Amino acid sequence: MTPFMKKNALLSFFILIGTVAPAIAQTGSVSGVITDSLTGQPVANLTVFIPSSTFGTITNQKGEYHLGRLNPGDYTLMFRHLSYPTTTRLISVEPGKPVILNLALSEESRKLNEVSIIGRIPDQRLAFHLFKTYFLGDQKEATCILQNPQDLKFYEDGGTLKAVAKNPLIITNRHLGYRITFFLDYFNYVEDKNPDTGLGRNDYFSYGGSALFQDLSVVIPIMTMGWRVARKNEFKGSLKHFLAALYRDQLTKEHYYLRTTFQSPEDLQLAEKRSNAMTKIRWAETDSLFNMDPAIHKSSYLHYYPAEEYPLSQNQITAGLQTGEKKLQAVPSLLVFSDYRKTRDLRDDWISTLRIPEKGIIFDQDGNYRVPEGTLSWINHDNSMQIIRLLPSDYMPKLNENHR
């Protein structure tokens, strides 16, 4: 076993994503009024948005909100305010049919506008340096700038550096041309010594939250061409890009390579139905990748055969119920290698873990997807999901730009 895939830092992240439907000529809208369930008074300055998209607004002094130009489809709508619990609602938008969704926030669940910290307080300057390095992806804030660093607080808990924010983080990303309002749920950083594997230092970090993007191309049109190129490059290797390539049966053309994963010799023996002796031989041929699962906050090693491509069959990719859709199902846990350098050497690829729920997912030619039941997991093992490289879920390059 040669665990050569160790990186200087490993990222795992969880950002709530609201599915954005493909473009259709006639659009719909959603609007409503947000009130306090105890007083009946309107709740102003509450953010209403589709997570990880450019679709969002803020309630006015009457508690009113309106989101227009929504393509028909199903959406997760999120409501966030510092004094109230985070709330989500599923909505279905139909062409030309406004959706009315009023919401009364329960006073019993109301949160204090404070952040309670329990644990050792670290050097705040050093902690902020680590936060900029691993969360923003720009330690000098040359192009990705946090506008309100005073709202961040850091503490240590059991050897883990953690961050909390008393207000949404406001980030200007000049690399891709977005202003991001990021509601940080957690940020964890661990510097770990692992002498048992001989790997030396393993730094890993994880974060979770929800983001609302504002496209700055309208505000600074002179930068549009540069941002268009940068966005196109960052789109490669993303979940949407992978699913769009899969839909067109162009994984190889788009330089994607799949490997099935095993966590133990027992998993391997069960999957391949081999004898104990043969399993030991096969296990010695595997390579490994350090993995931190943000959903359960546990680390492990994922083993795979570097020379053995996992082939997706026609039984796993079938036609969806609706025109223009496909279904992906019966897929084991996979490592997705994006060979952006086009070297065929897996060690310099962008790497993600893909886990499909039992009943599969539905996806279209643009990489838009929905999950009928269960949870889709896409865990990135490099630094490509730092804020400086994040794109909104409704981003899609023009047809003549989305090929390498």
- Would residue 404 count as lying in a domain? no
Listed residues 56, 78, 109: the one ending a domain: 109
Q: What is the pLDDT of residue 294?
A: 59
244/330 same-domain check: yes
Q: What is the pLDDT of residue 194?
A: 54
- Would residue 230 count as lying in a domain? no
210/285 same-domain check: no
Listed residues 222, 247, 262: the one ending a domain: 222
Residue 298 Cα distances to 5, 291, 295, angstroms = 18, 8, 8
- Would residue 87 count as lying in a domain? yes
80/178 same-domain check: no
Q: What is the pLDDT of residues 365-396, one digit of tens each?
A: 999 888 888 888 888 776 557 899 999 989 98
CATH number, position 41: 2.60.40.1120
Q: What is the pLDDT of residues 185-225, one digit of tens each?
A: 999 888 765 544 433 445 778 888 999 999 999 888 899 99
264/366 same-domain check: yes
* Distance in angstroms (rounded) separating the CA atoms of residues 344 and 389: 23
Q: What's the predicted TM-score (pTM) here?
A: 0.80
Pairing of strands 152-157, 160-165: antiparallel
Q: What is the pLDDT of residue 291?
A: 72
- Which pair of structure tokens corresponds to residue 152? 């961040």
Asked whether residue 24 carries a pLDDT value surpassing 80, the answer given is: no
38/142 same-domain check: no
- Would residue 399 count as lying in a domain? no
Helix (H, G, I), strand (E, B) or coil at 288: strand
Q: What is the pLDDT of residue 196?
A: 47
274/353 same-domain check: yes
208/155 same-domain check: yes
- Would residue 6 count as lying in a domain? no
Tally of domains within the chain: 3
100/151 same-domain check: no
Helix (H, G, I), strand (E, B) or coil at 241: helix
- Would residue 56 count as lying in a domain? yes
Q: Model confidence at 13, in pLDDT bands (50, 70, 90)?
A: low
- Would residue 23 count as lying in a domain? no
Q: In terms of residue numbers, what domain contains 367?
A: 238-383
- Would residue 389 count as lying in a domain? no
